Amino acid sequence: MTGAANINIVLLGVNHKTAPVELRERLAIPTARLAEATRFLVGRPGVREGMILSTCNRVEVLTCQEVPPPDLMKFIHDYFSVDTARLKPHLYEFREREAVRHVFRVAASLDSMVVGEPQILGQVKESYSVARDVGAVQGNLDSLLQRAFSVAKKVRTETQIGSSSVSIASVAVDLAKKIFGSLEGTRVLIVGAGKMSELAARQLIAHGAHSIMVANRTRERAARLAADFDGEAVEFGSLYDVADRADIVITSTGAEHPIFRREHGQTFLHRRRNRPMFFIDIAVPRDVDPEMNRLEGIFVYNIDDLQSVSSGNHAARAREAEQAEGIIAREVERFAARRAAVDVAPVMQRLRLRYEQARETELRRIEARLKELTPEQRGAIDVLTRGLVNKLMHAPMQAINAAAREGDAETVERLGKMFDGAGGAGGENEPD
């Protein structure tokens, strides 16, 4: 694929196929830190645009790079403090056309642990939103990701890829049935009110589970989810006091370290008089210490364990996946042709410079009043004004990218000039 001069699209990552959960959890980024990590990424020399996707099954760094390219391995080493020599054999790297193909496949759920699952598209959109809000996504990545969302919709509309998928939730139910024989009368504890936990709980209730308890660090969220199941919200601080009442524990928190350890399991078994407990650990990093699996009567399955038994409906999914791959291949060619024909990067760069100059001009205008503020308050104003610039630029960027997708270079340039003039003060030859 030929692209903007001296600009390359590069993706570096690990996923459930290339790295075990104990390695992936070293790279996992909590939602609360995603904006910080994205800013750190685009702050690296040579990274023009960037986005980070971090889920239980993958951590991927998508960048638009200048030439010569930056050292993304150094970014991983510096941000995650990991031994890159140990990590390197598990990493994959895609460039240009192959990077585009990979992004399309991920968004369309063809690269997921469970092919056809719908959650991944929402996760990609969330990462895109965070990157856009911090100004890390501009012309090149914006057009790529907008196209990826359209391709994902096309795949789901034109194939039956989603209807034949086996969910992690259904796998968990099957495993629970093997352990308990029947789920009739079993009690379920959800720790962390995430979407996958909710789906697993719904499956368990549908197959006979008796009641649901929900523990979450945010009490209100736990109460809302518990109400959906006519269940009971419990205080997160009381977790170890109530966990032994559950036969099945589904855990998916954002904790950086295990919240259930071997000593907890021993206590639970003692209180339960050795009746078995089943832990479904969907979190990355893991919520349940693997040592708990050594206790007789406690069964722990993490996200990788669930993958190994999620082979149901494989033939049906393979047929639909083959059709979806054909759609992806055609869309990659179309994207490549359009990107080669219309380069929006110079227009976007000029537009952002104009808006940023206007922002800085206005800040200089009130500099005397800002001196009375604390560094934290000045930082908050900086974040606020940058956010406003990003929001103001969103509509122009969408319009320019829409014209670029149609191969209309003339309209791209005309829109660029129109919005360039709307950016306000701040041209380099204009007075402050």
Mean pLDDT by 10 residues, the chain (432 residues): 60 95 93 94 92 95 86 91 91 95 96 84 95 91 94 92 65 83 91 81 86 91 90 93 94 91 96 92 92 94 78 61 92 85 75 86 86 85 85 83 72 75 45 35
Cβ–Cβ under 8 Å, residues 268 and 297: no
Q: What is the pLDDT, as a whole number, of residue 186?
A: 92
Q: What 3-state DSSP class applies to 213?
A: strand
Which of 56, 87, 121, 169 is an active site residue? 56
Q: What is the pLDDT, as a whole number, of residue 276?
A: 93
Q: What is the pLDDT, as a whole number, of residue 4?
A: 44
Residue 338 CB partners (closer than 8 Å, separation 6+): 404, 405, 406, 407
What is the greatest pairwise CA distance in the chain?
A: 80
Dist CA 50 CA 189 (whole Å): 38
- Domain residue limits, the chain: 7-162+318-341, 168-308, 356-432
Residue 64 annotated as catalytic? no
Architecture of domain 7-162+318-341: 2-Layer Sandwich (3.30)
Q: What is the pLDDT, as a whole number, of residue 212?
A: 92
Dist CA 41 CA 27 (whole Å): 14
Report which DSSP code applies to 293. G
Instruction: For residue 393, give the nearest of 355, 343, 428, 349 by alpha carbon.
Output: 355
DSSP assignment string, 88-108: GGG-EEEEHHHHHHHHHHHHT
Assign domain 168-308 to a CATH class: alpha beta
Q: What is the pLDDT, as a whole number, of residue 5?
A: 42
